[in-house]
């Protein structure tokens, strides 16, 4: 009998702690997100209002030295073990569901100005990119093994301040699951500037090697106009100007 009462008491304390935590989420200020995000994360919270249960936050993208804040805040609201995230760049709400298997994220699409790429550091901040970025991804569970296409990213009507011609092309990045890693492929759909590349995200590290060069179909005038941009992108190699991570 004593053992039964002891277990009941422990269970009651655990239940009380869970209830207290749930209640705290409804009143804790959303500004706490500023301390929860790592300082060197590529996505960080600049300002937040409301509560952790329902609030808004201003998001900045890029490295700490060259972050670019989004023009509109992200909104979220919890409903039990799931949450809805909204932003003007999104075609619709993104639904997050929390379960024993991890965090599940719903499929969605987003459209944003290419200017946000300037926050990703060199060479983007030098290029001052223009155009439109379209992103579409399938539903996935964070941390789970994934196979096949995870997301497609399109840079349409791309331009750069260092190139006096516009647009310079349309580009496509595909992310494909390979077990716990994600393969990255960059290709050119059309344009006077050809971009190609291959890489992989291991969960801790990004390895990517890319090449940039003038299209074989580009005129002499167009090739000359791309000289400054190609120099800014990276050092010249036999197969084009190199960019990416690690040894080029």
Q: Is the peptide bond before 18 cis (omega within 30 degrees of 0)?
A: no
Helix (H) or strand (E) holding 113: strand 108-113
Burial class (CB in 10 A: 0-12, 13-18, 19+), 207: middle
φ, ψ for residue 58, nearest 5 deg: -90, 130
Find the range with the poorest average confidence among 71-75, 106-110, 121-125: 121-125
Cβ-contact 149, 160 below 8 angstroms = no
pLDDT digits (tens, 9 = 90+) for 65-97: 667 788 899 998 988 889 999 999 999 999 999
Q: What is the C-alpha to C-alpha distance for residues 211 and 108, in angstroms, rounded to an integer?
A: 30
Length of the chain equals: 248
Q: What is the C-alpha to C-alpha distance for residues 53 and 58, in angstroms, rounded to an integer?
A: 16
Q: Assess whether pLDDT exceeds 70 at residue 182.
A: yes
Find the range with the poorest average confidence among 12-16, 137-141, 144-148, 230-234: 12-16
Burial class (CB in 10 A: 0-12, 13-18, 19+), 183: middle
Tell me how many degrees the CA angle 24-27-32 measures, rounded to the nearest 5: 85
User: Residue 48's pLDDT is what?
Assistant: 84
Cite the DSSP H helix spans in the chain: 2-25, 33-36, 124-127, 220-225, 227-233
> Confidence class of residue 122 from pLDDT cuts 50, 70 and 90?
low
Average pLDDT, the chain: 82
Q: Assess whether pLDDT exceeds 90 at residue 35.
A: no
Tell me how many degrees the CA angle 85-86-90 measures, rounded to the nearest 5: 120
φ, ψ for residue 55, nearest 5 deg: -165, -170
> Confidence class of residue 242 from pLDDT cuts 50, 70 and 90?
very high
Share of the chain above pLDDT 70, in %: 79
> Confidence class of residue 13 from pLDDT cuts 50, 70 and 90?
very low
């Amino acid at each position: 009998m004593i053992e039964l009462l002891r277990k009941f008491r422990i269970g009651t304390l655990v239940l009380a702690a869970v209830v207290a935590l749930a209640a705290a989420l409804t009143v804790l200020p959303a500004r706490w997100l500023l301390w929860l995000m790592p300082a060197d994360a590529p996505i960080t919270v600049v300002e937040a209002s409301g509560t952790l249960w329902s609030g808004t936050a201003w998001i900045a993208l890029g490295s700490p030295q060259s972050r670019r804040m989004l023009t509109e805040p992200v909104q979220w609201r919890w409903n039990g073990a799931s949450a809805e995230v909204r932003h003007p760049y999104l075609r619709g709400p993104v639904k997050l569901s929390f379960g024993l298997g991890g965090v599940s994220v719903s499929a969605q699409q987003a459209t944003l100005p290419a200017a946000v790429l300037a926050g990703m550091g060199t060479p983007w901040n030098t290029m001052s990119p223009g155009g439109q970025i379209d992103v579409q991804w399938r539903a996935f569970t964070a941390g789970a093994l994934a196979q096949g296409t995870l997301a497609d990213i399109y840079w349409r009507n791309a331009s750069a301040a260092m190139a006096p011609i516009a647009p310079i092309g349309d580009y496509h990045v595909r992310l494909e699951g390979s077990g716990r890693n994600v393969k990255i492929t960059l290709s050119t759909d059309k344009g006077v500037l050809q971009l190609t590349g291959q890489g992989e995200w291991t969960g801790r590290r990004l390895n990517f090697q890319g090449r940039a060069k003038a299209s074989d179909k580009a005129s002499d005038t167009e090739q000359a106009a791309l000289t400054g941009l190609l120099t800014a992108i990276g050092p010249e190699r036999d197969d084009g100007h190199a960019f990416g991570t690690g040894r080029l």
